[in-house]
Amino acid sequence: MSSEDLHAATRPKVQGTINLAKYLPAQLDFFVMLSSISGAVGTQGQGNYAAANTFQDAFARRLASEGRHCISLNLGVILNVGYAAERDLVAGLHRDGFQGLAEGELMALLEYACDPQCPAARDPERAQIVSGLLGAETFPYDIFRACYWTNRPICRYLMQLADCQAQLSGLKNSAVDSSSPSAIIAAAADDAEAAEAATLLLVDRIASLLNVPVADIDTRLPIAAFGIDSLISLELKNWIARELKANASVLDIMGAAGIEDLAGLVVGKTTLRSNTTSTEAQGDVGLVKITKRGAQVMV
């Protein structure tokens, strides 16, 4: 990222906020900063914008500690108006774990923040409200777990909550998640079966990233044929490392002759197969059934 790109995104929020705090009267009824959810969990490819919003979050806490009525609202995507709605980006953002806000919810947040008696606005520990994230209670466990931000240390309590809820509902065994991609690869009888399972898992993931039907993904085609850009390829790389335990580079992903070839490369690199026999795997997680619809675990 160039210096110009960094300052183009940070200057309006950083310098603009400082100027407003400096020249407006100290005793205002309210001082509300419209920050973004990117300041809490980040946004892929927009580190400069995330940094600018993080500044507003910290500055709100400082002003609140000085006794000024100040609060920072980390807003998620607005569902029915604005940039994301006009460009049909809502579905893709939802896939990444951003639930978004209806226009009425946004108005309710602003009404709360602008209330001169708002208790959070003068408490530095509460002068930041994060909104618009999907939670473990409102999102399927496997999809929530695959979101790029949920495995970050700052979200570890959310993941612990999701794990507990999945265990209580019977979706996740206390010893091993039998429906996870890792378990499916580990339980395969041999490398050929593991590669077939990895192919289906990759197809499911690519279809999810592109928000297209699984049937539209031809496993014989290279990744580049699906219009995957550098950001999505990086997300796929991170997913392969996290779920399939394989260190595949972006060059490996984009250079593979097809998804089937990429699956073979992943199986060759994964650490899940090195110390696992089919007997041991079946004893832990059950049998793996490979179908055209996907890899299923039968326990």
SS (H, E, C) 123-166: CCCCCEEECCECCCCCCCHHHHHHCCCCCCHHHHHHHHHHHHHH
- pTM value surpassing 0.75: no
pLDDT of residue 281: 37
SS3 215: helix
In the predicted structure, residue 286 carries a pLDDT above the cut 60: no
Q: In which residue ranges of the chain is CATH 1.10.1200.10 found?
A: 181-298
**Alpha carbons within 13 A on the beta-carbon side of 216:** 12
Spatial distance between the Cα atoms of 179 and 298, rounded to a whole number of angstroms: 9
What digits encode the pLDDT tens for the residues 53-102?
A: 999 999 999 999 988 999 999 888 777 776 666 666 666 666 667 777 88
In the predicted structure, residue 295 carries a pLDDT above the cut 60: no
Ordered DSSP codes for 27-53: S-S-EEEEEETHHHH--TT-HHHHHHH
What CATH code is assigned to 181-298?
Answer: 1.10.1200.10
pLDDT of residue 60: 92
What is each CA distance from 16 to 2, 25, 150, 262, in whole angstroms? 21, 15, 31, 48
CB 56 within 8 A of CB 17: yes
* Homologous superfamily, domain 3-130: NAD(P)-binding Rossmann-like Domain (3.40.50.720)
pLDDT of residue 19: 93
Q: In which residue ranges of the chain is CATH 3.40.50.720 found?
A: 3-130
Q: What is the DSSP letter of 100?
A: -
